[in-house]
Amino acid sequence: MRYLDVTQPITDGMPVYPGDPPVSVRPYLCIADGAPVNLGLVTLGTHTGTHLDAPRHFFDGAGGVDRIPLEALIGPARVVEVSGAGDVDAAAVRDALDGEERRLLFKTRNSARPPAERLLPGYAALTPEAARLLVEADPRPVLVGLDGPSVDGHDAQDAPAHRLLLRSGVAILEGLELSAVPPGAYELFCLPLALLGGDGAPARVLLRQMDEAA
């Protein structure tokens, strides 16, 4: 049984979205220094690397990452490849909605860039029209993922894609590592850290091809 790990590794000093806390991964106790065990200390933001956004990220008093149903995070998913140099637009979403999967992962030109360059202004994101189509779909997706740092573009005003999706109960999965993943049907396993009331959390995300799921 073959799993594809689509999680960005968390490393000391790794690039983060502008304004997010820096990542520190360092020893805290070391056997070499006389301690009985090796023990590390990790400092990072809740939206580091591959991570899940919760409604609380944009709405005070809304549910945290621990309130997102596991049923939204585990199940059939489709990786949709978006060709060209633009954003994920309404046409790409219409194509994605042709399938039965309610967990949609968009593979864009971001995947062809080194991880640090995916954070630079100009990364591919969702257009507001695309986000609107997603929340108006019947049935509506329960999760939308992207291989960039944000579903909203760097210059997006008031984060329309985030607000539309989160207000409608659609979980947002960002920072996916899809460079080696062909488009198609998969089974998704997305397990975020259980941060009580968290506005988001890093997640370990795996895909399994549906023809191997039986």
Strands 51-53 and 39-43 come out as unpaired
Q: What is the pLDDT of residue 1?
A: 65
Could you identify the residue written with the tokens 């975020």? Answer: 192
Q: What is the pLDDT of residue 83?
A: 86
Dist. CA 72–CA 214, nearest whole Å? 20
- Write the CB contacts of 187 (distance below 8 Å, at least 6 apart in sequence): 74, 75, 76, 77, 207, 208, 209, 210, 213
Q: What is the pLDDT of residue 84?
A: 84
What is the model's pTM?
0.94
Mean pLDDT by 10 residues, the chain (214 residues): 93 95 98 98 98 97 96 97 91 90 96 91 95 95 97 92 97 97 96 97 95 52
Q: What is the pLDDT of residue 124?
A: 96
First to last CA, the chain: 10
Q: What is the pLDDT of residue 188?
A: 98
The domain defined by 3-8+45-212 carries CATH number 3.90.1150.10: no
Dist. CA 143–CA 151, nearest whole Å? 12
Strands 39-43 and 24-29 come out as antiparallel
Structure tokens at 100: 């039965």
Q: What is the pLDDT of residue 214?
A: 43
Write out the catalytic residue numbers: 57
Domain positions in the chain are: 3-8+45-212
Q: What is the pLDDT of residue 2?
A: 87
Dist. CA 165–CA 68, nearest whole Å? 13
Q: What is the pLDDT of residue 213?
A: 45
